Structure 1
Amino acid sequence: MAQNDRAYDYDEEEEVTYGLALGFRILEDGGKLFLAEAEIAPYVDEPDELGVTLVFHPLDGVDPVDIDEATWPSWPIDVDDGLVRHASDSLAGQFASIIRQLRDLSEPQLREYLQVAREDAEKAN
C-alpha cells in the first residue's frame, strides 16, 4: 500500500450513525480506475438532514473474492456544500435530490473531488 493510501475507518467510540453507502460511478484518472462511492447519512447533530461523503477506492489490482474492506485504500471528502437539498423535505425527498445530483456529476468534477481527497489523505499521513 502506498504511503498516501489509508483505510477509511470509523472511531468505534463515536456515536453510531446509520445511512447508506452506494457505489455510483467508476472513473479513470491517470490510467487507473477508481470507484466513487457516496455515503449518505443523517448528520449526528441534525438527524432530519442528510449529509454526503464521497469515498474513492482504487480498483486496480483488486481481487474481488479476497478483499478486506478494512484495509482497502480509500479517500473520503465531504461534498455537502456542493449539493442542494432542503431540510424541510423528508429524508426520502432529500435522498432523491442527492442521488440525482450525484448522477449529474461530470467526470471532471469527480476527478477534482478525487484529487482533493487524495491531497487531504497525504496531508493526514
Structure 2
Amino acid sequence: MVSTVGDDGCARVPVSGRILESALLLRLLRLEHHLPEVRSRLTSFLRAQDPGHDEAGQLDSAILSWLFPDRKTIDPADVERASATGISGFVTDRRRHFARALAVIFGAASQPCARPVPRPSPRPAG
C-alpha cells in the first residue's frame, strides 16, 4: 500500500486516491508509528483538500476533521444523520453504519453502532 503514495502524498489506488483511502492509510501509519516520510506526504495532501460541507462532501469533511484536531470537529451523530438518506431502508442503514464505523476508526466515536445490528436467528437442529 505504501508504494501507492505518490510524491504529492496522494494514495493512488484503484479508486484514484480520494480522501477516504488516503485518510485510512494515514490513520494506519499513525497507529503503527511507521514511515514518517509517507505520513508527511499524506498529511500534506489531505490538509490541502477542501471537500466542502454540502451533502456530497460532508463525510470527507468529517474524516478530515477527525484526522486533524485543528479543523472544525464534526459530531459523528451529525454525519450518521446526514448519511441516513436514501431510497431504501437498506441503503439508509448501510450508509449510517458506514459513517459510524469510520468515526470509530478515526477515533471520533467509541461505539461501533448506535444500536445493535440484528442477527439472523439460528436454524433449529434436525
Q: Which has the larger radius of gyration?
A: 2
**Greater fraction of residues in strand:** 1
Of structures 1 and 2, the one scoring higher in RCO (CA 8 A, sep 6+) is 1
Assess same fold via TM > 0.5.
no
Q: TM-score range by the shorter chain?
A: under 0.3
Taking structure 2 as the reference length, the TM-score comes to 0.25
**Greater fraction of residues in helix:** 2
